[in-house]
Amino acid sequence: MELVATENQTMIAQMVRDFGAHHIRPHMMKWDESQEFPLDIFRKLGELGLMGVLVPLEYGGAGFGYTEYVTAIAELSKIDGSIGLSMAAHNSLCTGHILQHASEAQKSKYLPKLASGEWIGAWGLTEPNTGSDAGNMRTVAVEDGEYYVLNGAKNFITHGKSGNVAVVIARTGEVGDSHGMTAFIVERGTPGFTAGRKEDKLGMRASETAEMIFTDCRIPKENVIGNIGDGFVQSLKVLDGGRISIAALSLGIAQGAYEAALQYSKERHQFNQPISNFQGIGFKLADMATEIEAASLLTYRAADMKDRGLNVNRESAMAKLYASEVAVRTANEGVQIFGGYGYTKDYPAEKFYRDAKLCTIGEGTSEIQKLVIARTLLK
């Protein structure tokens, strides 16, 4: 495995850093305070090719692979995890599901709009009473002539209010049947499809999270993705790639928290010397740097395997598990190094601290990742 950044990765990293310095960093705390979802930023990211990183050129995408994708998410997340999260969810979940499993007609219709950033994508699996237990979902789709009629609700959905199109998983068979769920493409504006409550969150506050509600929502059969009953199996495959996204998100947050703490430790003087001279601080920085390096290797290994078409079920779970826990530990130690200032909004440590925790929950909790890994070990 090549560990040196490619020319594409280097180019993307610099492009994202420049973009972030001009368009994100000056506004991100305002967005955080007001929970504003900055739609214009995602239109601009679309112009840079970052809303369709994995989408082939023929559908208007950038045509890159997962290694470039990981680089883009990590660099965005070093600046603002909220923007990294929304970019990742758009690319890997809604767009990724259509890219991997939709018909040619569906790809041609939706991917160009999603890849350009003209449309924002959402993906609906989680429900109020079924998080990890997706097999017991209560959103149902009943066949009615040339349509399916959807009833139910999805929650904790990224872009659940502002998304122009959503891929929604609904039950078309018996409860608990892994082949009893189907994926549908649902456009905003479809009668019976409405947005519910927007969540007031601890962190990632500029990334919109809201309910999607379906009341006698009629979806034409041409909007079914793949075969009836394949929705859950499709979702598991989508989540394998999605977990690499969250590993990259976690990696970026950890790197941002570490770099801020390192810089501060060199500038902050106590007892007539920089606090970085003290062993207590130096050891913290050493642990942070080592764990980030390990998380990076796990994440890029999973990305490399995904690019080569290999099964990444275990590797993506390992990367997501480890990188997300490292993000939390690094952000926590970052606050400690900043001391009292780390508890204020005048410095970046507190935001990394708030943002990091979601990484251990979204797209499968740390406990679910351990379950996935254990099952692969015990086969």
Catalytic positions = 363
Q: Which residues pair with 168 in a beta bridge?
A: 124, 184
Which residue bears the tokens 């290797």?
297
Q: pTM of the entire structure?
A: 0.96
**351 touches 256 (CB < 8 A):** no
Rounded CA-CA distance 259/17 in Å is 14
Neighbours of 27 (CB within 10 A): 14
Per-residue pLDDT of the chain (379 residues; tens, 9 = 90+): 557 889 999 999 999 999 999 999 999 999 999 999 999 999 999 999 999 999 999 999 999 999 999 999 999 999 999 999 999 999 999 999 999 999 999 999 999 999 999 999 999 999 998 878 888 899 999 999 999 999 999 999 999 999 999 999 999 998 888 899 999 999 999 999 999 999 999 999 999 999 999 999 999 999 999 999 999 999 999 999 999 999 999 999 999 999 999 999 999 999 999 999 999 999 999 999 999 999 999 999 999 999 999 999 999 999 999 999 999 999 999 999 999 999 999 999 999 999 999 999 999 999 999 999 999 999 8
Q: How far is CA 264 from the centre of its chain?
A: 29
What is the CB neighbour count within 10 angstroms for residue 369?
25
CA atoms lying within 13 Å on the CB side of residue 340: 0
Compute the distance between CA of residue 314 and CA of residue 302 in angstroms, rounded to an integer: 9
